[in-house]
Amino acid sequence: MLPDDAITRIVEGAQSIGQICQSKGIAEWEVVAFQSYGHELDIEAGKIKLAAGGGDGGYGVRVLDGGRFGYAHLVDVSGAEHAVSQAISIAKISPAIEGFCLPENQKSTEVLGRCDNRILDVGPEDLLEQADAILNEVASLDSRAVITGGGVGVSATAGVIVTSQGILSSGISTSHGAGVQVSIDENDELTSAWENQFQTVLKLQFIGLSVPESQSRLIHKQ
C-alpha cells in the first residue's frame, strides 16, 4: 500500500526544508511530514456503492525566533522556499511569548503496536469480502434490517519529525476499521443505530466483520 521508499522520501524532504530554515538564519525550526494511502468501500441502502483508494500528504514547517512563532504548510518540497518565507513573515508579526522554545531531544520510549504489516498487503478484494460479511451478518440478525450507511477501510501513514534541536523520528502507522448505520423501517416507525470499530492492527474476523453487539441487541428488540 505504501511505496517502499515512503519513509526515506519524506525524511529527505523534511531535512531539505530544515536546511532552508538554517540558511535563512532561523534560530529554531521544526518540520513534520506525512504520506498516507488507503482503500475503502462504502455501503449504502444495503449494497456496496463505492470502492475508492488514494493518498494524501504534505509538510508542515514551524519556525521560532525570539519567542515569535510562525507556521506554513506545503504539499511538495518544491515550494519549500516560499513556505519557509511565509512562516518567517507570520512569526515577525506574531506576539512574542516569553520563554517559548522548542523541546530538546530527550531519551524516549518507542510506542509499540502502531503498525501491522499485514494491513499493507490488504487490497480492494479483501475489503469486498469483509463488506459482504457485514451485509450477511445484518441479514442473518433480522430480515428487516438494512445498512443505510457505513463501510470498511484500511490505511497506512508514514510520518516524520525533524527539528533544529536534534530530534529525528520516523515511522509507519496503520489503521483498519469498519462502521455501519443499521436501520429498521416498519409500520411507518424507524429505528436506527450506528457503531464503528477502528484499530491499528488487522482484525481478520472484525467480530466476523459483523454488526457490533449493541446493534445486535437493537435489532433483536424489534
Dihedral sign from CA coordinates of 181, 201, 30, 86: negative
CA-wise closest residue to 66 among 98, 21, 89: 98
pLDDT bucket at 203, cuts 50 / 70 / 90: low
CA-wise closest residue to 152 among 47, 45, 41: 41
pLDDT, tens only, 115-163: 988 888 888 888 998 899 889 888 888 888 899 999 999 999 999 999 9
pLDDT, tens only, 8-44: 999 999 999 999 999 999 989 999 999 999 999 999 9
* pTM for the model: 0.79
* Domains assigned to the chain: 6-221 (3.30.2290.10)
pLDDT, tens only, 81-98: 999 999 999 999 999 999
